[in-house]
Structure 1
Amino acid sequence: MTGRTRAPRSTYRCSECGHQAAQWVGRCPSCQAWGSLEAAAAAPAAARPRVVAAGAPSSPARRIGDVGLDVARARSTGVSELDRVLGGGIVPGAVVLLAGEPGVGKSTLLLEVAAKATGRVLYVTGEESAGQVRLRAERTGAVHDELYLAAESDLGAIVAHIDELRPDLLVVDSIQTMSTADVDGSPGGVTQTRAVTVALTGLAKDRGLPVVLVGHVTKDGSIAGPRVLEHLVDVVLSFEGDKHSTLRMVRGVKNRFGPADEVGCFELRDSGIVGLPDPSGLFLARFGGPPVPGTAVTVVMDGRRPLPAELQALVTGKDIPSPRRAVSGLDNARVAMLLAVLEKRAGVRLHDAEVYAATVGGMRVTEPAADLAMALAIASARSDVALPADVVVLGELGLAGEVRRVTGLDRRLAEAARLGFTHALVPPDPGPGPPGMKVTEVHDLASVARMFK
């Protein structure tokens, strides 16, 4: 009895996220994109490739102690704050993904890197023309004899430019605009983006060429780009910043060659982007001036970097049936919890008043170590009694009103002392403080909130 050959079963693949489905549907179940599923016939079993014996290795295995380190030494990018996040510089053959929202300043930063990097740099732009990039370079002073521009979106053309110029650094802006004729899909989709990244990664490893890729993400990170590339690249950097503020931060998310929790601070100006080795002035609006009710200063740890943060609160009104709560730069749920703890454990009446809480300088504070400072700022605003201007407040609050310890207390206090603060309110058992600083232990919120009554 002869069996019949079963026809290959068709599958449907989403061009946006790569999800596969057995039948066509109008909306992708994974990424919720409409009309993105396309038919892709599965290969018959007889035509599927079989595992064959491997060929000869490209190079013999060596003892780990015999492997040279010269080719893996980090080289400075010319931008000290970026070097800080990268762990000293960029390693030859490394692939770096710089991800961030459109318009945050990624292209401006990388144009600065391309102008200051040592050696020949190839800057490939798929979003702008070469003339537009030249105009930005003129404005920011990034015109350099060894900086070459190529307005390309095809992978084959990029490889041809690399073969001709032999650059020491390649910048691709952005990876979503690049495509290759070897795979199906539209530019920016998962299939094209992954294929181009895999090809550039292989090229980088083979030639020892450092590559920097620009990737755009939305606020929820749902775009098919950097989120599917994090496991392919060596370094993932997140470029953050509020459009209404000049502060920009480059935060390490993944780094195979250095710390993955570092942060670099920049300021976006008309003349370009400038690194801020000491950004404290952006976060302390009234330091050195008279104390103001509703203001408290704390020190947060952003990665390994202690940064001062000024927290402000405004409490207004009385006997309001539905009072408003507005939060900027802080976690809404955390502030709501602090309001409940203040009213229940410290006796501060807030349920019928409007409360506004914010940070200074466009800083985003989500660390629990800022709980006590935020609570005291709210209590100060309620009673209209200001904290002394030379006091820094550190501590996490529990639901019972107790003050809990925070990590890196010595580094926080050292940074506060360097900035001129002479008194600190800290959790129990802080240890010896910096010279010239008075350290006061705070066990619970009720004891310290009495000063505002």
Structure 2
Amino acid sequence: MFSQKHDLSSGGRPILFEPLDVPGKALERRATGLAEFDRALGGGLVPGSAILMGGDPGIGKSTLLLQAAGRIAKAGGDVVYVSGEEAAGQVRMRAARLGLADAPIRLAAATSVRDILTTLHTMEPPALLVIDSIQTMHSDTIEGAPGTVSQVRGCAFELIRYAKESGAALVLVGHVTKDGAIAGPRVLEHMVDVVMSFEGERSHQYRILRSLKNRFGAVDEIGVFAMEGDGLEEVANPSMLFLSGRDEPLAGSAVFPALEGTRPVLVEVQALIVRLQSGATPRRAVVGWDSGRLAMLLAVLESRCGLNFSSAEVYLNVAGGYRLADPAADLAVAAALVSALADRPLPKGAIWFGEVSLAGEIRPVAHPGVRLREALKLGFDRGHGPTGSAEKVAGIAFEGLPSLAKLVDRIVS
């Protein structure tokens, strides 16, 4: 039996329950002025929502948010941008480079959550509140330095509560660990409404804004940007970024229509096979795909199709620095491997998609029609995939492949 001082069944104030069909004002999303950002959000910023954006250092998180903040401010929305990492003068320099020096943004350099919330309560709630970053914030009611688990959790809770009560859309920038996970407590991702990842290689100009969690829209939607001298430019047709554009096909190259949320993106899968002398240990190198899945696919090709990769080095690359997670990439990877092994180019204007089982079967995948229509739009006229899974798309011929053995016969014969 609990003692009276630990009994929480009394002493509080009653809460009010409401039916689901209670009439109320519908929440209207606010456009950020960046169509690719809005796409990843599911249509724009929801009032009172809390968004957590993570990404590698220098990838462009602050640039993207400053561009969005500037456009919202120029459209008449009140925007507060609080930087805990840079001085106000440094943020102004970036804004000038982005052509946003005249944007009416309320800018401050501060790290005390108490000071930030005290100031916000003296003014009308802004349309957008950006905190860059949550790991630099601290609360004087919590022990520990900024960035510790307790500080990050406590500061985020107070800022999220303000957003819910005031209706301001809150964006928290989050540091990431070397493994790519957002630093701090995992509960932070549960507390917010939207978790976004800003990805890309600093050696490549493209950036992908990916939605990992979204209470107000579809998950796995992406927005694509290109880093230019004057900031991030939207890429309306990302497929053009990841295709080589060569006129004649080369051995070991296959085009795969990846699906990111509802958006199809055509990418090029490249394979290289190097025969070794006996006794040498063959190497397996993968860029942009799961190395474990490559090992499985090589084993299936050897076991079910009689191909020999054990005495060869295998190199696999997804062009443009793109990272594939779609299981439908199996068939494109297999086609590139077989093409490289046989030193025979794949048919020109062809795409390949399908999941491969351990039995060597090519299994159906989601939305084949969407993939084919994107390929047709970019000039491809042939599709190869699972038998009986693709809807007919006028203008593109589809050939069903029931197994990897049929794929090998199709390429080698």
Q: TM class by shorter-chain length? A: over 0.9
Residue 52 of structure 1: CA displacement? 3.2
Q: Structure 2: how far apart are the matches of 1:158 and 1:193?
A: 15
2:104 counterpart letter in structure 1: E
- The answer to whether structure 1 residue 452 and structure 2 residue 393 are counterparts is no
- The answer to whether structure 1 residue 306 and structure 2 residue 261 are counterparts is no
- The answer to whether structure 1 residue 94 and structure 2 residue 63 are counterparts is no
Equivalent residue number for residue 39 of structure 1: none
Residue 153 of structure 1: CA displacement? 0.4
Equivalent residue number for residue 39 of structure 2: 84
Q: Structure 2: how far apart are the matches of 1:224 and 1:378?
A: 38
- The answer to whether structure 1 residue 156 and structure 2 residue 111 are counterparts is no
| Aligned with 2:342 (options 374, 383, 390) | 383
- The answer to whether structure 1 residue 182 and structure 2 residue 141 are counterparts is yes
Q: Structure 1: how far apart are the matches of 2:378 and 2:192?
A: 39
Q: Deviations over 1:350-385 (max 9, x none)?
A: 211111110011111132211111111111111211
| Aligned with 1:143 (options 77, 95, 101) | 101
Query: How does 1:274-423 map onto structure 2 within 5 Å?
Result: 274-286=233-245, 289-320=247-278, 321-423=280-382
User: Mean Cα displacement is larger for which, 47-56 or 439-448?
Assistant: 47-56
| Aligned with 2:25 (options 65, 69, 78) | 69
1:169/1:81 Cα in 2 relative to 1: closer, same or farther (>3 Å)? same
Residue 56 of structure 1: CA displacement? 5.4
Q: Structure 1: how far apart are the matches of 2:82 and 2:300?
A: 54
- The answer to whether structure 1 residue 173 and structure 2 residue 132 are counterparts is yes
1:66/1:408 Cα in 2 relative to 1: closer, same or farther (>3 Å)? same
Query: Helix, strand or coil: the match of 1:65?
Result: coil
1:189, 1:224 within 8 Å by CA — same for their partners in 2? no
| Aligned with 1:263 (options 222, 232, 251) | 222
| Aligned with 1:252 (options 202, 207, 211) | 211
2:367 counterpart letter in structure 1: G
Query: Helix, strand or coil: the match of 2:21?
Result: helix
Instruction: Provide structure 1 residue ranges, at least 5 long, that are not aligned to the other structure.
Output: 1-44
2:174, 2:183 within 8 Å by CA — same for their partners in 1? no
Q: Structure 2: how far apart are the matches of 1:329 and 1:214?
A: 25
Residue 391 of structure 1: CA displacement? 0.7
Equivalent residue number for residue 132 of structure 1: 90
State the aligned residue count: 405
Determine which structure has more spread, i.e. the larger CA radius of gyration.
1
- The answer to whether structure 1 residue 440 and structure 2 residue 394 are counterparts is no
1:315, 1:356 within 8 Å by CA — same for their partners in 2? yes
1:103/1:49 Cα in 2 relative to 1: closer, same or farther (>3 Å)? farther
Residue 161 of structure 1: CA displacement? 3.3
Q: Structure 1: how far apart are the matches of 2:231 and 2:185?
A: 25
1:338 counterpart letter in structure 2: L
Q: Structure 2: how far apart are the matches of 1:172 and 1:380?
A: 50
Q: Structure 2: how far apart are the matches of 1:375 and 1:402?
A: 12
Q: Structure 2: how far apart are the matches of 1:232 and 1:206?
A: 15
1:200/1:432 Cα in 2 relative to 1: closer, same or farther (>3 Å)? closer
Query: Helix, strand or coil: the match of 1:258?
Result: coil
Taking structure 1 as the reference length, what is the TM-score of the superposition? Answer: 0.85
| Aligned with 1:114 (options 63, 69, 85) | 69
1:65 counterpart letter in structure 2: D
Q: Structure 2: how far apart are the matches of 1:78 and 1:362?
A: 27
Residue 228 of structure 1: CA displacement? 2.7
2:64 counterpart letter in structure 1: L
1:400/1:86 Cα in 2 relative to 1: closer, same or farther (>3 Å)? same
2:55, 2:180 within 8 Å by CA — same for their partners in 1? no
1:315/1:130 Cα in 2 relative to 1: closer, same or farther (>3 Å)? same
| Aligned with 2:11 (options 53, 56, 63) | 53
Equivalent residue number for residue 25 of structure 1: none
Superposition RMSD on alpha carbons, in Å?
2.0
1:103 counterpart letter in structure 2: G
User: Mean Cα displacement is larger for which, 45-54 or 331-340?
Assistant: 45-54
Q: Deviations over 1:25-62 (max 9, x none)?
A: xxxxxxxxxxxxxxxxxxxx8986865333255xx655
Q: Structure 2: how far apart are the matches of 1:260 and 1:432?
A: 25
1:215, 1:226 within 8 Å by CA — same for their partners in 2? no
Q: Structure 2: how far apart are the matches of 1:387 and 1:410?
A: 22
User: Mean Cα displacement is larger for which, 120-129 or 61-70?
Assistant: 61-70
Taking structure 2 as the reference length, what is the TM-score of the superposition? Answer: 0.92
Query: Helix, strand or coil: the match of 2:308?
Result: coil
2:175, 2:183 within 8 Å by CA — same for their partners in 1? no
Query: Helix, strand or coil: the match of 1:264?
Result: strand
Q: Structure 1: how far apart are the matches of 2:115 and 2:281?
A: 62
Q: Structure 1: how far apart are the matches of 2:333 and 2:388?
A: 21
Residue 424 of structure 1: CA displacement? 0.9
1:306 counterpart letter in structure 2: P
1:264 counterpart letter in structure 2: G
Q: Structure 2: how far apart are the matches of 1:382 and 1:50?
A: 70
